[in-house]
Structure 1
Amino acid sequence: MTDPFVPWIPLREPDAVQLHRAPAGPLTGLRLAVKDLFDVAGTPTGAGNPRWIETHGVPEADAEAVARLRAAGASLVGKTITDELAWSLNGSNAHYGTPENPAAPGRLPGGSSSGSASAVALGLADIGLGTDTGGSIRVPASYCGLFGLRPSHGRVPLDGVVPLSASFDTAGVITRDAETLRTASAALLGEPRRPAPIARILAPRDVWEAARTETRAVLAPAVERLASALGVAIDRAPLFEDADELERARVTYTTIQAYEAWQTHGAWIEASSPEFGPGVAARFANAARLTEDDRDRATRHRERVADLLGERLAGGAALALPAAPGPAPMLDQETHGGFDALDREAIVRLTCPAGLSGAPAVALPAGEVTGLPLGLQLVVSPGSDEALLEAAVAFAVHVRARR
């Protein structure tokens, strides 16, 4: 990685020889880029931090998610930069730089699956394998004008993947088109299910208020187009009875995520003294102070939120939300402190419902603000991933037909 704006982590020559020996399958001819949280046999897994490589051995087997995609015929062409230990939504890395966002030059690509999104957006890969804990597929997909799937929690095995927060971590894919997203996701999800199709769309006014005015103006027509593509009605009633409940949901999510992140990595951090970029360092420092009581209170509230979302999503409902509050921030916003905790909080208000309920979510390229991509996020009941993917294809076909 001599150039910080190239998303690749080079594979060793012996591994490169094997890259084009993929078996025939539904993904034959498609190039796969893998986020550097996933093990690839014979290649170090870096997790976005040099100290991680120094303190961990080279894996002998592919992560299960990688193995599934390669077994379906995808050709692995490289590993990609990730935000450190996947704990960021910006897409930058203090050690390896910031992958390019060709859809929004001079702006952040979104993280933590930044390198995978960049590789796909640049045309260097057709499928980007990433993880989504709190939006790490949906946000870069939105910023880079791509399609991205966060599967139902637990639907895709995470064997051979560096964890962050076990009760939220998922593995999914990013693509340039909906059909490839459906095909790649089918290979990743394993045994197919046949959930009922989406029967209505929920676009709750209270949650939409978490996005910027210009974002709402651009994406509202996209919800209409989606409803037309699916032949369903739109319900804009508030999701929560209490106006403060969305913020409480965000705090609940961040508390559980931080507690689990420290339980996962705290011992390694204390023993290995890794150097982190300022944002990641601050989050781990805060996480170290959380107690079991903090976790337990948040867990009880999470259960209430999950129950509410389960009720609202029952019967084939889909929750339509902006995938991010606005388009990709400028690169220098982060460098000069322009991107701060308030920006992160605004993103998590929109992404946390899926995580808290274990639901699948898809990001659809759905509009632009001053030429910058915006994504629409669609969330359905846990286990209904296939219905979500069919909706993504229907939306894409509808949009193409209108051009």
Structure 2
Amino acid sequence: MSDTPTLASLVADLDAGRTTARALVDACLAKIADPQGEGMRTFIHVDAEAAIEAAEAMDRLREVRAAPSPFAGIPISIKDLFDIEGQVTRAGSRALEDSAPAVADAPAVARLRRAGFVVIGRTNMTEFAYSGIGINPHYGTPKGAWQRGVGHVPGGSSSGAAVSVVDGMAHGGLGTDTGGSCRIPAAYNGIVGFKPTQRRVPLDGAVPLSSTLDSIGPLARTVNCCAVLDAVLANEPVTPLQPRPIRGMRLAVPNTVALDDLEDAVAKTFERALEKLARGGALIERIAVPEFLDVAPMSVKGGFAAAESYAWHRYLIAAKGDIYDPRVASRIMRGESQSAADYIDLVKARKSLVARATARLAPYDALALPTTANTPPRIADMNDDKTFTTANLLSLRNCTLINMIDGCGISLPVHREGEVPVGLMLAAAGGSDRRIFELAAAMEGFIRV
């Protein structure tokens, strides 16, 4: 077995009898329990007994050729935002610790289980999913993959999901993405993260941040791994992914907003990837996307996230606001000052934005832009509020552009071994998910050489 297995290699190993679901679960549990690793900060809850029982059940089913899918028995992590039957959903917060256990799995969790994936545990996250950095003062902050001895942020809000995958504590992670929460931690940790078209995966059973912008997606080691998990989450058939030829791809690089204030390492690595694609025959056009100029003004009063999170949190924060992360509470409370008229104007403005952006992007196969404007900042530097705010905005900015236009997007690692992690995002209008996967599959093994 490979040290960094893919879902495809695990399926082959399981089918050939080179491993078992129980062995996979045991290996993941050992990595979680390793006192020298990040398991204690990566997971908020691990139900080892249930995971072992599920793995053994999948092994028995495979022995009699009755496994529910080829992926049966593969361990996967679940962001603490999702309901799992019989468990408390804390959403990375202490404020929900005394909540009643969930009576049913969230549909996303249920679909993964129905395919035979084994839930290995609940992963840590930014409290209530409200940051792109991944700091959690309640349960600790797992160190990202880059220069672990120094300690860099893992990205958020699906911080634990990314670290669980990159450290081999799970072979895929279930995350959410409101303004980049799957793609940012993927970019910061050198893995793949996908934000689907929102309507494709039901949001039920997940603590909301913004019902307008929330989406549910996977983090994994390869494009194909994410495509498999995405199909399961969307209740679609898992079909072979056919990479599109790089020659002839039409890629638009937005000059508006997305390339502003890039760190040098991000700019250089991104441009190197574009040059490689151009040499391979991709048709790259740098274009203005004036619609992106509308996004920041729409968030002046906190935007959808503040308005919609305040509606959900207003009673809980009144009762337990003193135990919230102050940085999270302050962002939620921005929604208190938004009026109904403000919100209606916001809905109207976004509808126009989506229509105009969709029309502008129609001639191209995809947008190509840096996933984040920055590289993973040091955890120690995040103690300063001004430094944190600047880093958070730079992490979220480009991904938020895609959520606001109701698009789909994937983050691919484009740095070389030994370099600071940098992600390239391919994105397109809503409904283009399969095309994005096909483009990304072709680029994946090409742009890092």
Which of 82, 96, 120 is 1:38 aligned to?
A: 82
Q: Is the Cα contact below 8 Å between 1:182 and 1:390 reproduced in 2?
A: no
Equivalent-residue separation in structure 2 for 1:181 and 1:251 (angstroms) = 34
Equivalent-residue separation in structure 2 for 1:331 and 1:239 (angstroms) = 34
Higher mean displacement: 274-283 or 12-21: 12-21
* Deviation of the 1:371 alpha carbon: 2.3
* Deviation of the 1:370 alpha carbon: 7.4
Equivalent-residue separation in structure 2 for 1:186 and 1:227 (angstroms) = 30
1:231-290 Cα shifts (integer Å, max 9, x gaps): 531110211189x545435548x4122111111221222244451112112112222222
Equivalent-residue separation in structure 2 for 1:164 and 1:43 (angstroms) = 20
Q: Is the Cα contact below 8 Å between 2:77 and 2:161 reproduced in 1?
A: yes
> Could you say what secondary structure the match of 1:372 adopts?
coil
Counterpart of 2:54 in structure 1 is 19
Alignment of 1:249-260 (within 5 A): 251=300, 254-260=302-308
> Could you say what secondary structure the match of 1:221 adopts?
helix
Counterpart of 2:336 in structure 1 is 288
Alignment of 1:205-354 (within 5 A): 205-206=255-256, 207-226=258-277, 231-240=281-290, 244-245=293-294, 247-248=296-297, 251=300, 254-273=302-321, 275-337=323-385, 339-354=387-402
1:168-206 Cα shifts (integer Å, max 9, x gaps): 001101011222122222211223599997951110222
Which of 162, 168, 176 is 2:207 aligned to?
A: 162
Change (3 A) 1:294 1:8: same
Equivalent-residue separation in structure 2 for 1:290 and 1:303 (angstroms) = 19
Change (3 A) 1:370 1:398: closer
Change (3 A) 1:136 1:69: same
Unaligned 5+ segments in structure 2 are 1-32, 59-66
Equivalent-residue separation in structure 2 for 1:336 and 1:368 (angstroms) = 31
Change (3 A) 1:317 1:219: same
Counterpart of 2:445 in structure 1 is 397
Q: Does 1:119 align with 2:169?
A: no
Counterpart of 1:190 in structure 2 is 235
Higher mean displacement: 22-31 or 310-319: 22-31
Q: Is the Cα contact below 8 Å between 1:51 and 1:272 reproduced in 2?
A: yes
Alignment of 1:346-385 (within 5 A): 346-367=394-415, 371-385=419-433
> Could you say what secondary structure the match of 1:339 adopts?
helix
Counterpart of 2:28 in structure 1 is none
**Percent of aligned pairs with the same amino acid:** 32
Given the two structures, how large is their TM-score scaled by the length of structure 1? 0.90
Q: Is the Cα contact below 8 Å between 2:406 and 2:430 reproduced in 1?
A: yes
Q: Is the Cα contact below 8 Å between 1:27 and 1:69 reproduced in 2?
A: no
Measured on the aligned residues, the alpha-carbon RMSD in Å equals 2.8
Equivalent-residue separation in structure 2 for 1:126 and 1:295 (angstroms) = 40
Q: Is the Cα contact below 8 Å between 1:33 and 1:78 reproduced in 2?
A: yes
Higher mean displacement: 94-103 or 135-144: 94-103
Equivalent-residue separation in structure 2 for 1:233 and 1:395 (angstroms) = 14
Q: Tell me which structure has the larger Cα radius of gyration.
A: 2
> Could you say what secondary structure the match of 1:328 adopts?
coil
Counterpart of 1:130 in structure 2 is 175
RCO comparison, higher one (Cα < 8 Å, 6+): 1
> Could you say what secondary structure the match of 1:6 adopts?
helix
Which of 80, 92, 99 is 1:48 aligned to?
A: 92
Given the two structures, how large is their TM-score scaled by the length of structure 2? 0.81
Q: Is the Cα contact below 8 Å between 1:89 and 1:135 reproduced in 2?
A: yes
Unaligned 5+ segments in structure 1 are none
> Could you say what secondary structure the match of 1:256 adopts?
helix
Q: Is the Cα contact below 8 Å between 2:243 and 2:440 reproduced in 1?
A: no
Higher mean displacement: 101-110 or 148-157: 101-110
Equivalent-residue separation in structure 1 for 2:44 and 2:392 (angstroms) = 27
Equivalent-residue separation in structure 2 for 1:345 and 1:84 (angstroms) = 17
Equivalent-residue separation in structure 2 for 1:74 and 1:241 (angstroms) = 40
Higher mean displacement: 334-343 or 150-159: 334-343
Q: Is the Cα contact below 8 Å between 1:225 and 1:395 reproduced in 2?
A: no
